[in-house]
Structure 1
Amino acid sequence: MKAIWNNTVVADSKDTIVVENNHYFPADSINREYYEDSIAHTSCPWKGRASYYSLRVNGELNKDAAWFYPEAKDAAKHIEGRVAFWKGVQIVP
Structure 2
Amino acid sequence: MPAARPVAVKLDPEVHARIQELAKSQHRSTHYLMREAISQYVEREEKREAFRREALTAWAAYQTTGQHVTHADADAWMAELEAGRDPEPPECHD
Q: Highest Rg: 1 or 2?
A: 2
Q: Structures share a fold, TM > 0.5?
A: no
TM-score range, shorter chain: under 0.3
